Amino acid sequence: MERNLEQQFPAYGTSSAVQGARHRVLRNTYWLLALSMIPTILGAWVGVQFKFSFFAGSPFIGFMVFMAIAFGFFYAIEKTKDSAVGVAVLLGFTFFMGLMLSRLIGNVLGYSNGASLIMTAFGGTAAVFATMATVATVSKRDFSGMGKWLFAGVLVILVAAVANIFLQLPALHLVISVLAIGIFSAFILYDLQRIINGGETNYISATLGIYLSVYNVFANLLSLLGIFGGERN
């Protein structure tokens, strides 16, 4: 709708109607993002209780199964994003991602200060999100050009992560985690500005992108905190 308004009436591309539509997308994205935390936490709790893991037997096969399921969800979300079904599919995906997070959380909870590390990672992730949201809202700079570089960075991280399944190099794991935090933090900024500028008009698609970034920032930050701050009993 916004794009049609801008195409038909270019002089009114920043009219109150267009701005109102963009604000609704942003508001709905924030609400759905907050809602998505509930099945994520539930999935993580279920996974910890039942010691769920795709990676127990064969890490590489587990990774491939995870990617297949994740892309299946991506496809389903894309097909249903214009209906209420899309919300349900997205929430199902976040439950699945909670399951995938449970192994890391279970490991961190094995430390005497595990609960504190989880809360620190949560606080750090919230701070990153708040900072990126503020920059996206107040900055006049156009960050759209970052998209292709961020995507290339994600591909590098994926290749490095697959390689480290076989190499098992602690130093490489640290590098991957640091890069992931930086790249996905930038993705939050990029995706939020796209909503604000009208480049993304579907709040379900917007939520999916931002959720993945927030999830990866949290998971990698928690991993680093566990490595450097974990205290054994």
* Rounded-to-integer distance, Cα 214 and Cα 181, Å: 9
Split at pLDDT 50, 70, 90, the class of 231 is confident
pTM: 0.91
Task: Residue 61: give the domain boundaries.
Answer: 2-229
* Rounded-to-integer distance, Cα 169 and Cα 166, Å: 9
**Residues 61 and 112: beta-carbon distance below 8 Å:** no
* Rounded-to-integer distance, Cα 44 and Cα 214, Å: 15
H-helix or E-strand spanning residue 109: helix 84-109
Split at pLDDT 50, 70, 90, the class of 5 is very low
pLDDT digits (tens, 9 = 90+) for 101-150: 999 999 999 999 999 999 999 999 999 999 999 999 999 899 989 999 99
pLDDT digits (tens, 9 = 90+) for 6-61: 444 343 345 788 888 899 999 999 999 999 999 999 999 999 999 887 666 788 88
How many independent structural domains does the chain possess? 1
- Look at the block and give the residue holding tokens 């890391």: 104
pLDDT digits (tens, 9 = 90+) for 164-213: 999 999 999 999 999 999 999 999 999 999 999 989 999 999 999 999 99
Tell me which residue of 152, 221, 148 sits closest to 190, measured CA to CA.
Answer: 148
Residue 149 CA: distances (Å) to CA of 54, 109, 130, 155, 210: 30, 35, 23, 10, 17
